[in-house]
Amino acid sequence: MSPSNSKKILLIKHGSLGDIVFALEPILAIQKSFNNSVIDLLTEEKFIPIFKKIKMFNQFLIDNREGLFSAFSLIGKIISGKYDLIIDLQNSKRTNLYHLFIRIFSSARINGSRSFVHERYTIPPQGTESPTEGLFNQLKLLDIDKIDPNFSWLETEINDVNFDNKEVVLVIPGVSKSGQYKQWAPLKYKQICSFLESKGYYICLVGTKYDADSFQPILDNCKKIINLIDKSPPEIIYSVACKSKLVISNDTGPGHIAALSNVNILWLALNNRVTKSNLSFKKNNFLLLKNKMEELSVDEVKDYIIKENLLDKV
């Protein structure tokens, strides 16, 4: 069967929150191209709530990327699913192992960038293209084109918070444990938040309780705070971003969620090819980059906001 005529499709996508965000536009393009097909998704359990909001998936296969027994059990489920087409948006060594057995025991066509797929996209050197652009280049092999994405399905009510008559800057000072080398110092975030508060802006904070060290200096120093710490799943982050005048963020997953809003976002990030390719492909992204995060001063951030006219009152 030609991939374009596929009636039953499996998408594969897991990874970090940032990885999921980078794949959302390609996933919506797949939905448009195969709107009459049954589409299932293989992903991690923690990401199912956000994927349910798209309302395109028939069922979810959970892959928490555990041991070999779990992997072979999942391979059995995929084979028994009798898929016409499998689109691998993860393209990891683990998913390539799945494809080896799927090719032996199934007639499904596989699209991806690893060695055991049928329609293979060759990934260029890292930093040449953004993850989203790379996935769209992969999907060209299936004649799937880019779309103008609509993320309104992510928007939700923000209970117990009144944004009326408030000019808000969304600030994301936390990072994952593995991303601490990408974090701008919390004490510097405190200073920029104090500066913005002095200009009449409210500071909205999102993140988890594990980011406490990143938030506490701001909480101790600022009064005009909208505190959504540990109350900010992806849909809340997106909805707050839509109501904000500006987003300021480290290079981290919640920042990528906020960037979907098309509100201007100021990224404080490392100066390297990968960062540039990941962050520069959207027109609302503004990049302030340094070779080391400690080299970035508060005055440089203030001056950049003024130079780029990112806030009216500054």
Number of domains in the chain: 2
Each residue of 86-119: pLDDT tens digit? 999 999 999 999 999 999 999 999 999 999 999 9
- The whole-number average pLDDT for the span 137-146 is 97
Each residue of 154-185: pLDDT tens digit? 999 998 899 999 999 999 999 998 899 999 99
Each residue of 7-49: pLDDT tens digit? 999 999 999 999 999 999 999 999 999 999 999 999 999 999 9
What is the predicted pLDDT for the residue at 283?
Answer: 85
**Residue 289 and residue 185 share a domain:** yes
**Residue 75 and residue 53 share a domain:** yes
Residue 122's domain comprises 3-150
The CATH number of residue 63's host domain is 3.40.50.2000
Out of 150, 180, 211, pick the residue that ends a domain: 150
Q: pTM above the 0.85 mark?
A: yes
Each residue of 219-275: pLDDT tens digit? 999 999 999 999 999 999 999 999 999 999 999 999 999 999 999 999 999 999 999
Give the span between the Cα atoms of 3 and 256, in whole angstroms: 31
What is the predicted pLDDT for the residue at 2?
Answer: 61
N- to C-terminal Cα separation, the chain: 59
CA 101, 104, 105, 110 torsion: positive or negative?
positive
Out of 95, 118, 150, pick the residue that ends a domain: 150
What is the predicted pLDDT for the residue at 266?
Answer: 98
**Residue 202 and residue 100 share a domain:** no
Give the span between the Cα atoms of 217 and 32, in whole angstroms: 45
